[in-house]
Amino acid sequence: MANHLQLGFQDASSPIMEELVEFHDHALMVALAICSLVLYLLTLMFTEKLSSNTVDAQEIELVWTILPAIVLILLALPSLQILYMMDELNEPDLTIKAIGHQWYWTYEYTDFKDLTFDSYMVPTTDLLPGHFRLLEVDHRVVIPMESPIRIIITASDVLHSWAVPSLGVKTDAIPGRLNQTSILTTRPGIYYGQCSEICGANHSYMPIVVESTPLLHFENWSSLMSS
């Protein structure tokens, strides 16, 4: 959950988000090194008189050609690794279909016979103490922790986007098309997200709440919802 005046990311609650935060820090260090080098060279040019040998040296031309290529490799390799990790999904323990509507979500637990529900935002007047305005829903997406979950995302009317920042998930919901993503939570908790695609007048009123619980609690919840 983000705090007021928070400048960084939300706490990572999935392996993918941990990798994304680490890559962000890595890219910032590379950018800091580049900015420091450029600032040093600019300072040197204004304070020192460069000789003609320095200006025409082929060694310098070789360095400023090879160095950017090395920097790009340092950024590309971890980025490609994360991309492949995000697309990889091996035998999920649970599959959930998320369908975007104007302006609510429908969830179908396809591994269960009859477990489908709509998730609407709780109006401000009905909020309980401790609930967050514009983020709380009447039915949460409950998943077992430390289990690979496949999320199949689509829409019934216009473009939507299923996004939960602390889980590192943001996938477009497109009418007539099925998009797939995966999540794996490392600890129990409640994770908040919102539709991240402008979908109409009430775009800001279709939040997403994912509740990660131990397997036993999830089994009890699924039995109660299916009955």
Q: Where are the domains of the chain?
A: 15-87, 94-226
Per-residue pLDDT band at 100 (split at 50, 70, 90) = very high
Average pLDDT of the residues in 214-225:
91
Return the percentage of the chain with pLDDT > 70, whole number.
95
Average pLDDT, the chain: 89
User: pLDDT tens, 105-116?
Assistant: 999 999 888 899
CB 226 within 8 A of CB 190: no
Q: Does domain 15-87 have CATH number 1.10.287.90?
A: yes
pTM of the model: 0.83
- What is the pLDDT, as a whole number, of residue 120? 95
Strands 179-183 and 104-109: unpaired
51 pLDDT exceeds 70?
no
Q: CATH topology for 94-226?
A: Immunoglobulin-like (2.60.40)
Same fold, 15-87 and 94-226: no
Q: Which residue has the tokens 């060279």?
A: 41
Sheet (strand 116-119) strand order: 116-119, 104-109, 94-101, 149-155, 179-183
